[in-house]
Amino acid sequence: MSHAIAVGDLPASTAEFVRGQGRARGLADPLAAVTHGLRTEEETMNRESRGGPTSQRFVVEMLLTPELLIVAHRQSDDADTDPGARVRFHRLDQVEIATDKGSEKAVTARLAMPAKSIPLTSRPLGGAKRATYQLPIAIDPDVQRFRDALAQAVEAARA
């Protein structure tokens, strides 16, 4: 499930976590210039041999500024309760959004059924090397608006 969000929709602990990680990377308040946001929530069920099924909840927030793509991952609604919570900051002028270079048939199929992820390559601030990420998303109008805004922002950052 994905939907558009604003900075005010972030849990307070998540917002402070993002700000703190931004400060650690030499950024002023990275949330001050957010223009678009998208939250994806996914719950997965796992079968266990004993005790029955268990579920895990994953939350990914993608926040876009004129200069950065901020991606926050956590397994709960609260960054304080998730020791594995992490945030990555990607400079838009370094982001490459993957596109399908396949046949016309493959492109037509992709347009009819959009991908469930946004593949992008970047070196996050503080990272040692470039990596490709599959940012999870769902198929709905909020997602398409975010994709369009991301593509336009990447293009503008390179201009």
Lowest mean pLDDT among 44-58, 79-93, 99-113, 115-129: 99-113
Predicted confidence at residue 67, as pLDDT, reads 95
Predicted confidence at residue 78, as pLDDT, reads 59
Does residue 51 lie within any of the structural domains?
A: no
Predicted confidence at residue 77, as pLDDT, reads 61
Token digits of residue 144: 């398409």
CA-wise closest residue to 94 among 62, 60, 131, 145: 131
CATH at residue 65: 2.30.29
d(CA 1, CA 39): 8
Does residue 63 lie within any of the structural domains?
A: yes
Predicted confidence at residue 34, as pLDDT, reads 97
Each residue's pLDDT tens digit, 90-118: 999 999 887 655 433 443 344 444 556 77
Q: Is the pLDDT of residue 1 over 50?
A: yes
Please name every residue paired with 40 in a beta bridge, in sequence order, or none if there are none.
2, 60
Half-sphere exposure of 34 (CA within 13 A, CB side): 25
Q: Which domain holds residue 112?
A: 2-46+56-158
% of the chain residues with pLDDT over 90: 36
Predicted confidence at residue 152, as pLDDT, reads 94
Each residue's pLDDT tens digit, 127-156: 888 888 777 666 778 888 898 899 899 999
Tell me the pTM: 0.80
Q: φ, ψ for residue 150 (rounded to 5)?
A: -65, -45
Predicted confidence at residue 29, as pLDDT, reads 95
Does residue 68 lie within any of the structural domains?
A: yes
What total number of domains does the chain contain? 1
